Amino acid sequence: MADNTASSPANNCLEKLKSYVKTQKGFILSSEIIISFIILICYAASLYGGYSAVAICEMVFAIIFFIIFMMELDKQIQVVNWVWSDFFRAIIGAALYLITSLICVIGGAGDGARIAGGVFGLIAGLLFAYDSYTIYLQIRSSRQHTAASTDDRV
């Protein structure tokens, strides 16, 4: 019979997934993925499907960063500053969601799916803004701990 006590790579990945979703950053990223998927469905069902491009891009970027942080690839690939990249992703996502959602809510008369996508987009904009705020706090705290020396000596 096969030994069931050995850990397979799939079990290891599933355990990493479960433990990462329980962290604050993992919960925020998974929430961003889920709400972007809901917005994608709403915009795809509306008469104006062009707004779904924002939801697709933000969902793909959130999935990429989720995988990178979950698998701790940010510690292995140090060519990219992942914290700043994630900060710009969250800021741009918040701005794009807020702008497109306001356009959809204001001009979506008669198209319920577009209005629903706009309302969920406003919630997503707030979620992305909160994510960027938490990243900003993380950047600020890491800068305070690694302040440069002010000695004049060489």
pLDDT, tens digit, 9 for 90 and up, residues 13-26: 888 888 989 999 99
In a domain, 72, yes or no: yes
Q: Tell me the per-residue pLDDT of 38-86, one tens digit each, with 9 for 90 and over.
A: 999 999 999 887 889 999 999 999 999 999 999 989 889 889 899 999 9
In a domain, 151, yes or no: no
Best CA proximity match to 120, nearest among 43, 58, 57, 65 = 43
Q: Name the residue range of residue 55's domain.
A: 23-144
Place of tokens 């002010």: 150
In a domain, 15, yes or no: no
In a domain, 2, yes or no: no
Q: What pLDDT shows up at residue 34?
A: 96
pTM of the entire predicted model: 0.84
Q: What pLDDT shows up at residue 110?
A: 85
Cα–Cα distance between 102 and 93 in angstroms, integer? 14
Per-residue confidence at 109, pLDDT binned at 50, 70, 90? Answer: confident
Per-residue confidence at 1, pLDDT binned at 50, 70, 90? Answer: very low
Q: What pLDDT shows up at residue 15?
A: 87
Cα–Cα distance between 90 and 62 in angstroms, integer? 9
Number of domains the chain is built from: 1
Place of tokens 């000596």: 153
In a domain, 17, yes or no: no
Choose between 93 and 151: higher pLDDT. 93
In a domain, 84, yes or no: yes
User: At residue 132, does pLDDT exceed 80?
Assistant: yes
Q: Tell me the per-residue pLDDT of 142-152, one tens digit each, with 9 for 90 and over.
A: 887 655 556 55
User: At residue 116, does pLDDT exceed 90?
Assistant: yes
